[in-house]
Amino acid sequence: MDWGKRIEKPNAHIIRMMTVFVITLLVKMMILHWIMGVRLYFIQAAIMNLMTLTGLFLLFIYFFPKNYFKAFWWMHLLVSGLIFVNTVYYSHFFTLVPVGSVFQIGQLGGVSDSIFALLRPIYFLYFADTIYLRFWIKKKSKLYHSWYYDKKNRRNGIYAIAFMVLMSFMVGAINLVALSTEGNLRPANLGMINYHIYDTFRLTRPAPIVDPDQAEEAVIAIEEEEKDRRFEGLLEGRNIIVIQAESLQSFPMEHALADQEVTPVLNDLIRQDTLYFSNFYEQVGWGNTSDAEFVVHNGFYPSTSTFSYQAYEGNDFYTLPMHLEKQGYTSIVFHGNDPEFWSRQSAYPGQGIHHFYSAEDFEMNEIIGLGLSDYELYKQSIQWLKEKPEPFYAFYITLTCHHPFVMPEPYQWLDMPAEYEDTYLGHYLQSVYYMDQQIGYFINLLKEEGLYDHSAIVIYGDHQGVDMRNQEINEQVSRYISRPYQEDEMFRVPLMVHVPGSGVEEEITLAGGQIDFFPTMANLAGNPLAPDAVLGQDLLNIKEGFVAKQVHVSAGSFIDNEKIFIMSPEGLYDNSQSWNLKTGEQVPLEEARQGYERALAEITLSEYVMENNLIPRVQKAGLSGILDNIRFLLDLEK
């Protein structure tokens, strides 16, 4: 290109037109930022997104000199659609849509009821100016036909130069944000467009190298176990039946509704022959339910970019079903939904699952919400369960208690007080009660078929169903539980191991998470894992529990036996919160620094292991061996 001939004075009409498109998009983006609670970085995010939007439109002018006005409008429509989608997504998940969700487009049909429940007519106003601009373009094209359609229009290098200058400023601004937040780039400090660009970069970059010294402290903490093992082999030789209970949180078990127990069956279970983990927390990622099963079976954290079965497709794993297979167990999964939902059918062989019964195998004669009702799931599966050689590991994924939680009227069995009638919490409690009753029905089926006495029944909640960040819902739950509804309560889900005839009755109160399920179950089955084989801990043989959180709160957030720490959404440590779990009193942030660093180290180490397919090496050398390899690689770079 002859830049001397191609650098010309910019066309004033084009610049004015571009300004209209950019400013209207920026205003809508700022509305979204305000809805998201962006305050501290509100102005900075607006300026950075203004630069990015302007840069994108300059590129369109440069690359489409003869049709830039069409490109402008399509760009406006695309970004308006992105703002619309993010607003809907934020109303439920309280973050922006991850770029990795492109892999989840095939899942949308299965959750259409949940999506429609989130739509609000006002959201469609995001497209009002886009429609108007379409007519405005036509009007302008008639007034300035000569320069809109001049075939002699050619690329003007001044726009490319302006783009490069803007992007240089943009990179500098993002680096300043990264410096001020210790590298914690979040939607609340980057804004919508820039966060999506950053998220795209994260999706394609190699796994980050973990600081081996910092990670070693985390591994040492994980390895600390009691010398005298408790409950080792309690389940040995028994069938193990696991129920992953959709959206089940702990608070409905602990609070009656107008003198009605919401979970009478579960409450009866924890009173007899049961180990009950009362401070157990969900640790799901973008895959929600599918990530819950991934975490409990693998003992590593879920992907931070997309659902884990997609992110780690083709990896080699060592899972709980594989571990139990060494003791003669056959592993079975029952799920009354499309077998490819969350890529389960293609992922399960690599997870050590021998048999998978899905919507293709069940008679789909009662659909509630996403799929087969819990009642039919248990009723139809019992025949297959009877036919399996023992011992077996049976994993049930329930569906009925799913957002938006509106049960058919014949199944609304709770007498709902007027204050909760037709509310989100009221619908949720009705769904939980239905789930509880069907678990009772399933236990009776096991007794009738002679499977109950020599089985263990394990039940845990997969993830939260009632989000405390929704103000209306928060007020409802706070009133129901008679205390502020905060993150520690939102993330707390039950875990119980019911062992008929064992005489074991104990409540384990230390903090634990889904990542601890694999080592805990391995111990109960009589074949404990090496302490550094996974990132989870055997909750029956440690003193200090630790739960790292990611994705749905800022990375670095954690819960231990005494406190919870929630990293600020802006990524600033000093703006974070920490409080005592028992008293609710604020904890000085410096007391949480060590836990914050451990949480980041564990998550980064997990990501490094998974993205580099290092599970076989972990099985041979342990996590300490992985850290030794990292040190070796870092020494080579020096």
CATH code where residue 434 lies: 3.40.720.10
Annotate 453-474 with b (16+ C-beta within 10 A) or e (fewer): eebbbbbbbbbbbbbbbeeebb
Nearest CA to 426 out of 467, 418, 92 is that of 418
Report the pLDDT value the prediction gives residue 112, as an integer from 0 to 100: 60
Look at residue 153 and tell me whether its pLDDT is greater than 70.
no
Above pLDDT 70, what percent of the chain? 93
The answer to whether 462 is a known ligand-binding residue is: yes
Q: Is 319 annotated as a binding residue?
A: no
Same domain, 345 and 250: yes
Distance CA 553, CA 542 (A): 26
Whether 371 and 474 map to the same domain: the answer is yes
pLDDT value of residue 387: 94
Do both 118 and 26 map to the same domain? yes
- Say yes or no: 306 and 435 in one domain: yes
**Is 246 marked as binding a ligand?**
yes
Range 615-636 average pLDDT: 88
pLDDT band at 154 (very low <50, low <70, confident <90, very high): low
Q: What's residue 278's pLDDT? A: 98
Report how many domains make up the chain: 2
Across 528-547, average pLDDT = 95
Domain final position from 187, 204, 221: 204
What percentage of the chain exceeds 90 in pLDDT? 72
Mean pLDDT of 11-32: 90
Q: What integer is the mean pLDDT of 311-326?
A: 96
Q: pLDDT band for 147, please (50, 70, 90 cuts).
A: very low
For residue 294, the one-letter residue type is F
Mean pLDDT along residues 565-580: 95
In a domain, 361, yes or no: yes
* pLDDT at residue 140 in the model: 65
Name the band, by pLDDT with cuts 50, 70 and 90, for residue 17: confident
Whether 504 is in a domain gets the answer no
169 domain residue, yes or no = yes
Residue 1 clears pLDDT 80, i.e. is over it: no
What is the distance between the alpha carbons of residues 183 and 175, in angstroms, rounded to a whole number?
Answer: 9
pLDDT at residue 301 in the model: 97
Residue 313 maps to a domain = yes
62/119 same-domain check = yes
For residue range 167-204, what is the model confidence (pLDDT) as tens digits?
888 888 888 888 888 888 889 999 999 999 998 888 77
pLDDT of residue 11: 75
* pLDDT the model gives residue 4: 41
634: how many CB neighbours lie within 10 A of its CB?
Answer: 12
- What predicted TM-score, i.e. pTM, was given to this entire model? 0.90
Structure-model confidence comparison of residues 152 and 36, the more confident one: 36
pLDDT in the model for residue 318: 98
Residues 78 and 160 grouped into a single domain: yes
- Does one domain contain both 199 and 246? no
Predicted pLDDT at 331: 98
Poorest-pLDDT segment among 113-127, 465-479, 548-562: 113-127
Q: What are phi and psi of 279, to 5 degrees?
A: -125, 60
Tell me, yes or no, whether 299 and 388 share the same domain: yes
Same domain, 184 and 290: no
Boundary (domain end) residue, out of 450, 469, 490: 490
pLDDT in tens, 58-116: 888 888 776 777 888 899 999 999 999 999 989 888 889 888 777 666 665 556 666 77
Lowest mean pLDDT segment, chosen from 139-148, 356-365, 399-408: 139-148
* Separation in Å, CA 411 to CA 97, 113, 400, 414, 439: 34, 18, 11, 9, 15
User: Using 50, 70 and 90 to split pLDDT, how confident is the model at 631?
Assistant: confident
At 256 the pLDDT is 96
* pLDDT tops 50 at residue 129: yes
Q: 3-state class of 119 per DSSP?
A: coil
User: Does one domain contain both 248 and 193?
Assistant: no
Q: What is the pLDDT of residues 471-512, one digit of tens each?
A: 999 999 999 999 999 999 999 999 999 999 999 999 999 999
Domain boundary among 204, 228, 254: 204
Average pLDDT over residues 551-579: 94
Lowest mean pLDDT, pick from 5-14, 224-233, 418-427, 591-600: 5-14
pLDDT at residue 148 tops 60: no
Q: Which of 95, 289, 306, 400 does the annotation list as catalytic?
A: 289
The verdict on 139 and 186 lying in the same domain is yes
What secondary structure letter does DSSP report for 151? T
For residue 150, name the pLDDT band (cuts at 50, 70, 90): very low
Helix (H) or strand (E) holding 355: strand 355-357
Is 289 annotated to bind a ligand? Reply is yes
Same domain, 173 and 250: no
The token pair at 404 is: 């938006």
For residue 127 the two structure tokens come to: 């497209």
User: Is it the case that residue 523 has pLDDT exceeding 50?
Assistant: yes
pLDDT digits (tens, 9 = 90+) for 155-176: 677 778 888 888 888 888 888 8
For 108-125, what is each residue's pLDDT tens digit?
555 666 677 788 899 999
Domain span at residue 444 reads 239-490
289 tagged catalytic: yes
Is 234 a domain residue? no
Within 10 A of 23 (CB to CB), how many other CB atoms are there? 13
Mean pLDDT, residues 240-245: 98
Q: What is the pLDDT of residues 267-280, one digit of tens each?
A: 999 999 999 999 99
